[in-house]
Amino acid sequence: MVVFPNAKINLGLRVVAKRSDGYHDLDTVFYPIPLTDILELITNKESNQPEFSFASSGLAIPGGTDQNLCYKAYQLLKKDHPGLPSIKVHLHKQIPMGAGLGGGSSDGAFMLTLLNEQYELQLSNEQLKEYALQLGSDCPFFINNQPCAATGRGEIMKNIEISLKGYHLVLVCPGIHVSTKEAFQNIVPHVANPTCEEAVMQPLTEWKNTLINDFETPVFSLYPAIGQIKKKLYENGAAYASMTGTGSTVYGIFDQAPTLDNIFPSHYQIIHNFVS
């Protein structure tokens, strides 16, 4: 069975409070976008094979198999469903990693749903979300995979009616690694006003003034090149531009397909998507 784990962008990201468990309360809107990895699962029918065989292609994935969220998803379900068979997994990686696009989280969440469907575990969406939260704060979003306002660690979600249909989305990935820990260290939590949900309900022309990613200020200070991406997207006609997550990808939303030839350094990855 083959599935296509998709990326997401954050429409705004506010840090509301520091929690007693060490996490932060967030306020954001998750929006799925049509940039995908390719995940294949095959039941291993050969004897004397490991319970989980993993191979990958496309973008290089750092770390060993035991650090991969697909493997961790399998182990989570295997613990409660010991009858899960030995499997082979192939992941073709196309979503840039460490870029605020949620690619690893999506892979892990899609692995949970794939195992649930393939082996008829009969887990509900709520149960899958509980497993997904053990993989990462934004993993539960990919279970429903619909635009939603998210609070708490990102796991408290409310579906909202918002569509970017007809707009052109451009992702600019500079390949700069932004440490999430470092980004959070330079954040002062505060109440979001307006909330991200309230902001996205305004006309897109107003988002520039009201839809804010709190991480931009500290990240742009540490990595000015990322701030320059946002500046250049606006200079070239973006109706709205923002960093997604804690970076380093910056996206621009355009009314029409933009021409961005020779705007950015040649090693930057520029991804064009028509958001449908």
What are the residue numbers of the active site?
8, 138
What does the chain come to in residues?
A: 276
> Do 271 and 170 touch, CB atoms closer than 8 A?
yes
- Residue whose C-alpha is closest to residue 129's, from 139, 117, 116: 139
* CA–CA dist 168, 251 (Å, integer): 10
What is the C-alpha R_g of the chain?
A: 19
* CA–CA dist 218, 134 (Å, integer): 28
- Tell me how far CA of residue 235 lies from CA of 127, 149, 166, 256, 267, in angstroms: 45, 29, 21, 14, 21
In one-letter notation, the amino acid at residue 128 is L
In sequence order, the 6+-apart residues with CB closer than 8 A to the CB of 270 are 170, 171, 172, 173, 260, 264
